[in-house]
Chain A
Amino acid sequence: MTVTLATSFSTAAQPAPPGGPIPPAAPGEPAAFDIRGFSLWYGTRQALHDVNITVPARRVTAIIGPSGCGKSTFLRALNRLHELTPGTRITGSLHLFGEDLYGPGVDPVVVRRRVGMVFQKSNPFPTMSIGENVLVGLRLNGVRDRNFLQERLEESLRLAALWDEVKDVLHRPGTSLSGGQQQRLCIARALAVQPEVLLMDEPCSALDPLATAKIEELIQILRERYTVVIVTHNMQQAARCSDRTAFFYMGKLIEYADTRDIFTKPANPQTEAYVSGRFG
């Protein structure tokens, strides 16, 4: 099954031991998202101003910034989820592995199958069991092969570091789990459809420190296979688990650099003020 996962990407996988040192960004690694001149409006209110950013594949990119800076809006634009809000409008271009996600004839449903998402609050489907929750995406795609589903169920839960805790209670409702387990269940659900990118919108903000640590550990494992974009309020979290960090303020991308640089020698005074805790 690992083979299937790795072949979703054009380049060969470079497996590293979990928790090992972060490999340097390999030159020639394709960019996952290539975003040019991207602006977004809610009605007449402009939420994003001319954002230019290249998100590397198989890296963790953190988006930080004060409340209302447009970071969640930006994340939701990556899988076109913002379109659920009536009256939104965009300009500019957004490419995923060279493909224009906003091109004519591109179905947002297909975009969202390629770009999975985990939310601030865990949201398992309460009427489904743990197993059904993980497999619901595959079933929506019309997968019926029992063996395949079984394999994918185990693999997704293992990947989300939840398998050992739930393997004997797969029939229990997803909501019977603890908060942290529910969030990992949601991650497993998002991973089961093998997205190319995983978006995380403050995935730990409702969790206690222990559950948070588990999720962060998980992100480190995921970055070997997936491109992860994580919005976080928690700067330590961004510093701990991301390779690249983007700082948004007032709907503008202020600074975007290697995480180490953002936190140690930010180029922009606004970034410095924010990461040193002087505002936000």
Chain B
Amino acid sequence: MSKPISESTPPAQRPVRRWPDVSFRLVALLAALSVVALIVLVGWELYSGSRLAVAKFGPGFLVHSRWDPVSDEYGALPFIAGTLVSSLIALVIAVPLGVATALFLTEMAPVRLRQPVITVIELLAAVPSVIFGLWGIFVMIPFLRDHVFPVMQSVLGFLPFFRGPIYGVSMLAGGLIVAIMILPIITSVSREILRSVPNLQREAAYALGATHWEVIRIAVLSYARRGLFGAAVLGLGRALGETMAVTMVIGNRPDISLSLFAPGYTLASVIANEFAEATSDLYLNSLFELGLVLVVLTIAVNALAQLMLRTLAGPGTGKVN
């Protein structure tokens, strides 16, 4: 009979080594710190690179709408407005489209159809920005100019947003191209959110005699609304910083116009366009300050969205037993 386990002598074991623990902790800490350092560095560079402009224009930089390299006068307002308006247009188009696509994929599409559609959407995300821009210039702009915009003007012309001459390149075209580009992220995030809605919620609605649409409305969309709002915010983050394709279709004119048919300019576009030709120090500093404004704007919009998420969205998906 063998001895009880407590009396048997254990086989020789090597002593516990501590150094993997310590070194791993150090490596992980360094990785985490480097991210923080990177952000601080970017912030510092943007700040130090824009000091001349900040000193010369002060806070007026944000509200002046004159951008004139010849007389060395710079104001950021047209670019801030252009960035916000084009992103807003993109959201207005892409959020309903993306959420509806996600709903179709999770709630309606036959199982065999789902994966092909998802693959196509992912392909859309893989197309380089400049390709969208080219397509925008050669296909979308002429089509909008000749067929879509005139119809919109004749139908919605009573609104100030749809008046004025039509060039093709415009704020609306810029928003449209950004909408296409943020559609994949909004769709795939929304799809994940909708997939996370418990089936029990759907069944609860079905068992009450709800139709398919009613189930989607009371059990799926309302359960997922916080998450869907988050998907929209993610899309907005992308839209604010989108550069290449927008630059190619928005018209690049630093004017503020009520008409969406008029050309506009965004913060990202002007930096990309004019960086190489910024001859004077003040010009370069002003471009740096635009970069600073873009970063701050993006952070502010995200923070605002977080705040809205907490207060406006109401009771969320709390504990469900």
Q: Which residues of A contact B (CB under 8 A)?
A: 79, 81, 84, 86, 109-113, 116-117, 119, 121-128, 136-137, 140-141, 173, 175-176, 179, 182-183, 186, 189-190, 193, 206
A122 to chain B: which residues have CB within 8 Å? 320-321
Residue of B nearest to A207 (CB): B321
Q: Which residues of B contact A (CB under 8 A)?
A: 111, 198, 200-211, 214, 218-219, 222-223, 225, 314-321
User: Are A119 and B209 CB-contacts (below 8 A) given A125-B218, A126-B318, A182-B321?
Assistant: no
Q: B225 touching A137 by the CB < 8 A rule?
A: no
Q: A179 touching B321 by the CB < 8 A rule?
A: yes
Closest Cβ of chain B to A186, distance in Å, is: 7
Closest Cβ of chain A to B227, distance in Å, is: 12
CA distance A175 to B202 in the complex (A): 16
CA distance A61 to B233 in the complex (A): 51
Q: A110 touching B209 by the CB < 8 A rule?
A: yes
Q: A126 touching B208 by the CB < 8 A rule?
A: no
Q: Which of B209, B223, B316 contacts A125 (CB 8 A)?
A: B223
A81 to chain B: which residues have CB within 8 Å? 203, 206-207
Q: Which of A86, A175, A190 contacts B318 (CB 8 A)?
A: A175
CA distance A121 to B198 in the complex (A): 11
11 other contacts beyond A86-B111, A111-B209, A123-B201, with CB at 8 A cut-off? Answer: A84-B203, A112-B207, A117-B203, A123-B198, A126-B315, A127-B222, A127-B314, A127-B317, A137-B208, A175-B315, A179-B321
B225 to chain A: which residues have CB within 8 Å? 127
Closest Cβ of chain B to A115, distance in Å, is: 8
CA distance A162 to B111 in the complex (A): 41
CA distance A127 to B205 in the complex (A): 13
Q: B208 touching A127 by the CB < 8 A rule?
A: no
Q: B320 touching A124 by the CB < 8 A rule?
A: yes
CA distance A86 to B111 in the complex (A): 9
- Could you count the A-B residue pairs with CB atoms below 8 Å apart for me: how many are there? 92
Q: B209 touching A137 by the CB < 8 A rule?
A: yes
Residue of B nearest to A139 (CB): B218
User: Are A125 and B315 CB-contacts (below 8 A) given A109-B210, A140-B218, A206-B321?
Assistant: no
Closest Cβ of chain A to B133, distance in Å, is: 41
Q: A140 touching B214 by the CB < 8 A rule?
A: yes
Q: A123 touching B111 by the CB < 8 A rule?
A: no
Q: A127 touching B210 by the CB < 8 A rule?
A: no
CA distance A156 to B320 in the complex (A): 21
Q: A173 touching B318 by the CB < 8 A rule?
A: yes
5 contacting pairs across A/B (C-beta < 8 A): A109-B210, A123-B201, A140-B214, A175-B318, A175-B319
Residue of B nearest to A175 (CB): B318
Closest Cβ of chain A to B107, distance in Å, is: 11
B205 to chain A: which residues have CB within 8 Å? 125, 136
User: Are A136 and B208 CB-contacts (below 8 A) given A125-B219, A126-B223, A127-B315?
Assistant: yes
CA distance A124 to B203 in the complex (A): 11
B203, B214, B314: residue with the most chain A Cβ atoms closer than 10 Å: B203
Residue of A nearest to B317 (CB): A126
Q: B321 touching A84 by the CB < 8 A rule?
A: no
Closest Cβ of chain A to B221, distance in Å, is: 9
Q: B320 touching A193 by the CB < 8 A rule?
A: no
CA distance A173 to B321 in the complex (A): 13
B208, B210, B314, B317: residue with the most chain A Cβ atoms closer than 10 Å: B208
CA distance A268 to B206 in the complex (A): 37
Residue of B nearest to A115 (CB): B207
Q: B320 touching A127 by the CB < 8 A rule?
A: no
Q: A141 touching B321 by the CB < 8 A rule?
A: no
CA distance A128 to B218 in the complex (A): 9
CA distance A170 to B214 in the complex (A): 23
Closest Cβ of chain B to A53, distance in Å, is: 21
CA distance A206 to B321 in the complex (A): 9
A81, A117, A127, A175: residue with the most chain B Cβ atoms closer than 10 Å: A127
CA distance A128 to B221 in the complex (A): 12
- Those 9 A-B pairs whose CB atoms lie nearest each other, nearest first: A113-B209, A117-B207, A137-B208, A112-B209, A127-B222, A123-B204, A123-B200, A173-B315, A175-B318
Q: B208 touching A112 by the CB < 8 A rule?
A: yes
Q: Which of B203, B214, B317 contacts A123 (CB 8 A)?
A: B203
CA distance A125 to B200 in the complex (A): 10
Q: A127 touching B223 by the CB < 8 A rule?
A: yes
